[in-house]
Amino acid sequence: MHENLILEPTQRADACVIWLHGLGADRYDFLPVAEALQQVLHSTRFVLPQAPTRAVTINGGYAMPSWYDILAMSPARAINREQLEASAQQVIDLIEAQRDSGIDPARIILAGFSQGGAVVLHTAFLRWHGPLGGVLALSTYAPTFSDDMQLPASQQHIPVLCLHGRNDDVVLPAMGRAAHDHLQAQGVSVTWKDYPMSHEVLTEEIRDIALWLQSTLA
């Protein structure tokens, strides 16, 4: 198990962003983004966990950092649910550790890119029961959301920002939009924004994230 990458702010931490990387990446992937965001979020701690390395079926069984195995791509992602639940528990453990260190869960943001975003959405709305500061869903989808899910009032109050590339051919924009629409149908305050990009992160997007985090954590 790799150590979590933790960026302490210049001021005493009163908020935290837990940020999950995507398939095949590692905990250093969003380090430059976290460092840039801390320039304007002077009291926000960033925690960047590492996915375990495991065989990924759709990639020919090649072992890579993965929050869960993807068994098939269509018609919808077929995933290893047990591994997803274990990753969600890892996130819950991080939330509780931050809470125990003195950070109010209502000031804890869960962020995730691609597969990491799928874990974050599952954790925030189907596993964690209580307040959260918000969810950042980047170029991602929600394989565990369904039309018949019923969110408790506590989860309906979690603000969500969904960001996606219009040219994304890895996680199709329609998959991200479906996650957004599921949350919207549940009364969640969810915002959708797309960009002229593929499966990546743009400078403009990071600026929008900074503004959203400043507003959400104000």
Q: Which residues does the annotation mark as catalytic?
A: 114, 168, 199
d(CA 176, CA 17) in angstroms, rounded, equals 21
Cα-to-chain-centroid distance, residue 100 = 21
For 11, the 3-state DSSP assignment is coil
Both structure tokens of 78:
């077929």
For 21, the 3-state DSSP assignment is coil
Which residue type does 208 have? D
Both structure tokens of 169:
């051919």
Residue labelled with tokens 């065989």: 55
Q: Give me the residues paired with residue 154 across strands.
A: none
DSSP state of 141: -
